[in-house]
Amino acid sequence: MGTSVQMTPLCGVYSENPLCYLLSIDGFNFLMDCGWNDLFDPNLLQPLSRVSSKVDAVLLSHPDILHLGALPYAMKHLGLTAPVYATEPVYRLGLLTMYDHYLSRRECSDFDLFSLDDIDAVFQNVTRLTYSQNYHLTDKGEGIVIAPHVAGHLLGGTVWKITKDGEDVIYAVDFNHRKERHLNGTVLESFVRPAVLITDAFNALNNQLYKRQRDQEFIDAILKALNADGNVLLPVDTAGRALELILILEHYWSQQHLSFPIYFLTNVATSTIDYVKSFLEWMSDSIAKSFEHTRDNAFLLRHVNLIINRDEFEKTAEIPKVVLASMDSLEVGFSHDIFVEWATDARNLVLFTQKGQFGTLARMLQVDPPPKAVKVTLSKRVPLVGDELIAYEEEQNRIKKEAALKASLSREEELKASHGSDTNAPDPMEVDASTSYVSSGSGLRSAGHLDVFIDGFTPSTSVFPMFPFFETTAEWDDYGEVINPDDYIIKEEDRDQASMQILHGDLDIKIEEGSARLLLDLTPSKVASTELTVQVKCGLTYMDFEGRSDGRSVKSIIAHVAPLKLVLVHGSAEATEHLKQHCAKHVCPHVYAPQIEETIDVTSDLCAYKVQLSERLMIDCMCTDIGDYEIAWVDGEVGKTDDMLTLLPLPSAPLPHKSVLIGDLKLADFKQFLASQGVQVEFAAGALRCGEHITLRKISDASQKGGSGPQQILIEGPLTEEYYKIRKYLYSQFYLL
């Protein structure tokens, strides 16, 4: 029997909710994606919380909130501890996406589901893989190989292939078979006959316009608004589809020499583009090629300006402009604020490029007809003033004093302790030193940093201490300076500020001035909210730039991949049901669309055993080359050597077997072939008329579509020379075994 495979959806089936599925292969539990929605609704994670401790590995497929948003929360609060696997761009852009979401949320609320620290902690845990890297799991997962493959849709997007004992389980959600400006199409079609395919029904009911036409309409809509003196807002994700839009705009702007400014406004815009510039090897062939030939990095942007805070944006000139701002949901972030500001002007245009998540402002605006007015909450973090500030400062001072007192006590203790070991230290100065420290009040935290050893600096010993001289006696052991843990204990109140500082030091992320201001802003602040109703007068348009394969292509790709078992997830109930019906009829009989927390068993009912092919058998094998395959007919007797079944040649001459014709006849191709051989040939009533009297037809069994069962071909005609000639040509299309 084959490998046992079970699958339990935790979120995101029969709906467009975030994706999160538990896939268990021979007892090894993979968590496929760990998404959340833009509203960060903890209720969605209920099913996950029940299984999170069982998870052995997390595989991420795309760097957006729907695929990895819940990771920090799950790691912090739900007891998820498994190692995470993702491609380099998913890791990097996912990290930036999380930062952007956190900062946007933080700007307008006291967001406390997770902190920047939690995000960092999660992403430190990620093992980064490259496309088609076969990664062999160890320990519990011994024998399982995971490999990411190109998915399209987002940079670094992954179709996961999990292999055990030669059986493939493929997880392919949100793939795109079309080549785009910055991404290659998915390689999903190159997988054939996997044991299980898990895919989404998200787009099963959507069909797309042609790319060129769509691009043109997109640009036309934008230019129309700009020329009418309006502004254009494109609500985008942090580091996903925004990249494609940026390239489209760049391209048209430089082609048409347009001068309208374009702004890319997220909390992490500059970092995003900096990192994206170094991900050329993950992008489309044409981008890689243009770099190899001219060393022009496609993301060296000439027309798009990167902005990371609101103030800077306010300073931009008051002329018609295009703004790509996060988030795409319009719930929070720059896009929210700008929308509120611009919605009331009929000249402006809000152009959605992605279907909004359910329950978000973007989704509300995408209905037809659009609402006349929407209620929004405008929240802003404002500095405290007046009484509030005084109260806050008093509180802070009290805390500080307590802390200082505590620190001075511990400091004295420490000094006493170090005094014992450090006999060189001049005695009388010591007390002064410690007291002056505390009294200087330069902050307890800085005390720990004052005597940092500077590399290459050797203090001169010939100089005697002079007044005012502070000999800081630090204790040293094998690991360096002895650290007083109390110095590093962070008070609850300013944890966030401190964590941001840690982030500043620890991470190789550029903290842009804007976010740095937000992060390191020590001025006490609070969130002020105002509810208001916005009259929506601006233009609202939705164009599909989601970069997913459309319904028709999804169907044909699934039919081509032809999995033995198919599992459908993520998509509205109608779409899921539609695709299920379709696939059950045309692809394979085993189509599953489980409900949340419904465990389905997709263990393949395939029987298989292994035999060793003996050399003697192989000598007599006459292999025929057919494309990638070599095929031969074997007759063998089963023998046994060292517990292995071995196939030996038969002792006597084998019985003749029924001959097998191998090949796939396409009547149209065959017609061309015959024509090239000088035979008169035409299609008539579904059959191919060859020469005078011969007809050739394929007897198709309607119920057996999707390449199952052998082809039935009928050739008829009178007994003539021509008949045998055509038959000869027909035979030449097949391999006989």
Partner 1 sequence: MASAMTAPGSVLKRKDSMASAPVREGDQLIVTPLGAGNEVGRSCVYMSYRGKTVLFDCGIHPAYSGMAALPYFDEIDPSTIDVLLVTHFHLDHAASLPYFLEKTTFKGRVFMTHATKAIYKLLLSDYVKVSKVSVEDMLYDEQDILRSMDKIEVIDFHQTLEVNGIRFWCYTAGHVLGAAMFMVDIAGVRILYTGDYSREEDRHLRAAEIPQFSPDICIIESTYGVQLHQPRVIREKRFTDVIHSTISQGGRVLIPAFALGRAQELLLILDEYWSNHPELHNIPIYYASPLAKRCMAVYQTYINAMNERIRNQFANSNPFDFKYISPLKSIENFDDIGPSVVMASPSGLQSGLSRQLFDKWCSDKKNACVIPGYVVEGTLAKTIINEPKEVTLMNGLTAPLNMQVYYISFSAHADFAQTSAFLNELMPPNIILVHGEANEMGRLKQKLITQFSDKNTKILSPKNCQSVEMYFTSEKMAKTIGRLADKTPEVGETVSGLLVKKGFTYQIMAPDDLHVFSQLSTANITQRISIPYSGAFSVIKHRLKQIYESVEAPIEEPDVPTLIVHDRVTIRQESENYLTMRWSSDPIGDMVSDSVVAVILNISREGPKVTAVAEVEKTQEETAKMAHKVVYSLLVSLFGDVKVVEEGKLIVTVDGNVARLDEKNGEVECDNDSLKERVKTAFHRIQSAVRPIPLSAA
Which residues from 501-530 bind partner 1, rule CB under 8 A? Answer: 508-510
C-alpha–C-alpha distance, residues 150 and 140, integer Å: 27
Contacting partner 1 (CB under 8 A), which of 10, 126, 129, 236?
A: 129
Least spacing, CB of residue 133 vs partner 1, in Å: 4
Helix ranges (H only) for 318-379 are: 333-342, 361-366
Residue 566 Cβ vs partner 1, minimum distance, rounded to whole Å: 15
User: Quick check: 736 binds partner 1 (CB under 8 A)?
Assistant: yes
Q: In this structure, are strands 565-569 and 591-592 parallel, antiparallel, or unpaired?
A: parallel
Nearer to partner 1, 135 or 392 (CB): 135
Q: For partner 1, which residue of 358, 392, 633, 673 counts as binding (CB under 8 A)?
A: 633
Q: Which long-range contacts (CB under 8 A, 24 or more apart) does 621-624 make?
A: 624/735, 624/737
Structure-token pair, residue 567: 């599992």
Report DSSP letters for 180-224, one per residue: -SS-PPP-GGG--S-SEEEEE-TTTT--PPPHHHHHHHHHHHHHH
Q: Does 454 bind partner 1 (CB under 8 A)?
A: no
Q: According to the binding rule CB under 8 A, does residue 621 interact with partner 1?
A: yes
Q: Minimum distance between the CB of residue 175 and partner 1, rounded to whole angstroms?
A: 19
Q: Toward partner 1, which CB reaches closer, 474 or 588?
A: 588
Establish if 476 lies at the interface with partner 1 (CB under 8 A). Answer: no
Smallest separation (angstroms) from partner 1 to the CB of 509:
6
Chain positions 294 to 313 lying near partner 1, rule: CB under 8 A, are 295, 297
Binding segment (CB under 8 A) for partner 1, from list 125-133, 323-331, 457-465, 575-583 = 125-133
DSSP 451: T
Site residues for partner 1, window 152-211 (CB under 8 A)? Answer: 166, 192-193
> Hey, what are 204's tokens?
């099963």
371 in contact with partner 1 (CB under 8 A): no
Closest CA to 697 of 706, 708, 685, 707: 685
- When asked if residue 392 is in the footprint of partner 1 (CB under 8 A), the reply is no
| Residues between 542 and 581 that touch partner 1 (CB under 8 A) | 564
CB of 632 to partner 1, least distance (A): 5
- ∠ CA 166-169-173, nearest 5°, is 150
Cα dist from 548 to 19, 148, 154, 175, 734, whole Å:
15, 18, 9, 6, 38
Nearer to partner 1, 148 or 320 (CB): 148
Distance CA 75, CA 117 (A): 12
Q: Give CA–CA dist 304/557, Å, rounded.
A: 36
339 C-beta neighbours (distance < 10 Å), count: 24
Structure tokens at 393: 């400062």
358 CB-contact burial (10 Å; exposed 0-12 / middle 13-18 / buried 19+): middle
The yes or no reply on residue 687 touching partner 1 (CB under 8 A) is no
Residue whose structure tokens are 């190899």: 292
Q: Is residue 636 at the binding interface for partner 1, with CB under 8 A as the rule? A: yes
Instruction: Tell me the three state secondary structure of residue 627.
Output: coil
What is the nearest approach in angstroms of partner 1 to the Cβ of residue 597? Answer: 32
427 contributes a contact to partner 1 by CB under 8 A: no
Q: How far is the CB of 721 from partner 1 (least distance, A)?
A: 12
Element (DSSP H or E) covering residue 263 = strand 262-265
Inter-axis angle of helices 495-506 and 116-123, nearest 10? 40
Among 278, 397, 421, 442, binds partner 1 (CB under 8 A): 278
Helix (H) or strand (E) holding 683: strand 681-684
Q: Which residues contact 385 (CB under 8 A, 6 or more apart)?
A: none
Q: Which of 14, 99, 131, 437 binds partner 1 (CB under 8 A)?
A: 131
Part of the chain binding partner 1 (CB under 8 A), chosen from 94-102, 108-116, 173-181, 626-634: 626-634
Q: Say which amino acid occupies 75.
A: M
The single residue among 50, 136, 224, 666 that binds partner 1, judged by CB under 8 A, is 136
Residue of the chain from 224, 277, 495, 586 that contacts partner 1 (CB under 8 A):
277
**Window 1 to 20, contacts with partner 1 (CB under 8 A):** none
Q: Is 653 in the site for partner 1 (CB under 8 A)?
A: yes
Q: Do residues 711 and 664 touch, judged by C-beta distance below 8 A? A: yes
Among 250-258, 319-327, 384-392, 728-736, the segment contacting partner 1 (CB under 8 A): 728-736
Span interacting with partner 1, options 110-118, 132-140, 216-224, 258-266, rule CB under 8 A:
132-140
Q: Match 């990664």 to its residue by tokens.
A: 135
Minimum distance from residue 310 beta carbon to partner 1 (Å): 24
Tell me: does residue 390 bind partner 1 (CB under 8 A): no
The pairing of beta strand 322-325 with beta strand 262-265: parallel
What number of chain residues touch partner 1 (CB under 8 A)?
Answer: 95
- From 6-14, 215-223, 465-473, 636-644, give the range in contact with partner 1 by CB under 8 A: 636-644
Q: 579 to 618, contacts with partner 1 by CB under 8 A?
A: 606-613, 615, 618
**CA-angle at 352, arms to 350 and 356, nearest 5°:** 125
Dihedral, CA of residue 92, residue 93, residue 98 and residue 104, to nearest 10? 130
Residue 668 within binding range of partner 1, rule CB under 8 A: no
Write out the binding residues for partner 1, residues 698-717 only, by CB under 8 A: 699, 707-717
Bridge partners of 24, per DSSP, are 6, 29
**Prior bond to 465 cis, omega within 30?**
no
280 lines the binding site for partner 1 (CB under 8 A): yes
Q: How far is the CB of 660 from partner 1 (least distance, A)?
A: 4
Q: Is 652 a residue that touches partner 1 (CB under 8 A)?
A: yes
- The Cα 459–Cα 228 span in angstroms is 69
Least Cα distance to 474 among 484, 461, 488 occurs for 484
If the CB atoms of residues 508 and 531 are measured against partner 1, the closer one turns out to be 508
User: By C-beta, is 428 or 456 nearer to partner 1?
Assistant: 456
What residues form DSSP beta bridges with 11? 20
Residue 227 touching partner 1 (CB under 8 A): no
463 binds partner 1 (CB under 8 A): no
Q: Is 664 in the site for partner 1 (CB under 8 A)?
A: yes
Window contacting partner 1 (CB under 8 A); options: 19-27, 407-415, 525-533, 633-641: 633-641
Residue 6's CB is within 10 A of a number of other CB atoms, namely 16
CB under 8 A: which stretch of 74-82, 105-113, 468-476, 647-655 binds partner 1?
647-655
Query: C-beta of 503: minimal distance to partner 1 in Å?
Result: 13
Q: Which is nearer to partner 1, 130 or 213 (CB)?
A: 130
Which residue, 478 or 508, is less far from partner 1 as judged by CB? 508
What distances in angstroms separate CA 353 from CA 226, 272, 306, 546, one per listed residue? 18, 19, 20, 7
**Least distance to partner 1, CB of residue 607, Å:** 4
Q: What is the distance between the alpha carbons of residues 151 and 158, in angstroms, rounded to a whole number? A: 5
**Contact flag: residue 133 with partner 1 (CB under 8 A):** yes
Which window, 465-473, 545-553, 656-664, 673-681, contacts partner 1 (CB under 8 A)?
656-664
Backbone angles phi, psi at 276, to 5 degrees: -60, -35
Query: Which residues is 477 bridged to in the sheet?
Result: 480
By CB under 8 A, tell whether 626 contacts partner 1.
Answer: yes
CB 296 → partner 1: shortest distance, Å? 8
* Contact status, residue 647 vs residue 612, Cβ threshold 8 Å: yes
**The residue to which tokens 């994206």 are assigned:** 276
Q: Which is nearer to partner 1, 147 or 162 (CB)?
A: 147
**Shortest spacing between CB 639 and partner 1, in angstroms:** 6
β-pair type (687-690, 694-698): antiparallel
Among 631, 667, 679, 687, binds partner 1 (CB under 8 A): 631
